Amino acid sequence: MESRIDNPTFTIDLKRDQDYSLAQNAEVITVSNNQLLQIDGYNVCLHKPTKDGDYKVNKFLFGGEQEGLPKDLQNVTSVNVFVPETDSVKLIVRVCVAMVFNNETINLALYFVEDTENWSIYLYMEDFEHVGKIREVIDIFNCTDPLELSFNHDALFKIQLENLNSQIEEAATSYLYSKYDLWTRITRWVQELFSLPQGLRNSHFAPFF
């Protein structure tokens, strides 16, 4: 299936109907649950730019138990995998969650960024009502072992950010602590997926249509 996009720096997740601003000629894989389609599994879209500026979009149905991705993502709303064509950044994984705090929904996005030396992990508090507007940015820690992701809890929760509400900070770090195994499994799945040759990647998915 071909999807014409005028601006090659943007791709569209057909499932979520949302624009993503990407680096020039970047690939993006989006993973989200299928509640709107009432399908048991995850909708996986691969957006790959072609030489003439088109994006070739492949859609797959992904069974949650395959490749170690948890069947129940609970409050995780989506997992986005960006493959920018740069020398400094190899892979970016975004895990978005909706967290309720004091009867208010806080949208968090956890970014795993793999560069030439290690993984860096960032926590964003996003205002999804205004797409692209970042309310707060928290630099969490660096991890030198991308496969094992041996979390150093002392480093993980030393969050330094002025003007961040301390209660929100405490709640966010507590939430991350309770979910860190989920981040590990998702990131390990992504790492294993992208370590496969291109021809084998698609064999891990059942065709959606």
Per-position DSSP letters for 67-111, written without gaps between them: GG--S--TTEEEEEEEE---SSEEEEEEEEEEEEETTEEEEEEEE
Q: What is the pLDDT of residues 59-89, one digit of tens each?
A: 443 433 333 334 444 456 666 666 665 667 6
The pTM (predicted TM-score) of the whole model is 0.48
Q: Does residue 60 fall inside a structural domain?
A: yes
Pairing, β 10-13 against β 134-143:
unpaired
Q: pLDDT tens digit string along 152-205?
A: 444 433 334 444 455 555 665 565 556 556 566 655 555 554 454 444 343 333
The reply to whether 170 falls in a domain is yes
Task: Give the phi and the psi of residue 155 in degrees, each rounded to 5.
Answer: -75, -35
Residue at 208 is within a domain: no
Q: Is residue 206 part of a domain?
A: no
| 135, part of any domain | yes
Q: Is 207 inside any structural domain? A: no
Judge whether 209 lies within some domain.
Answer: no
The domain tally of the chain equals 1
Owning domain of residue 168: 2-201
The per-residue pLDDT for 88 is 72
Bridge partners of residue 28, in order along the sequence: 47, 82
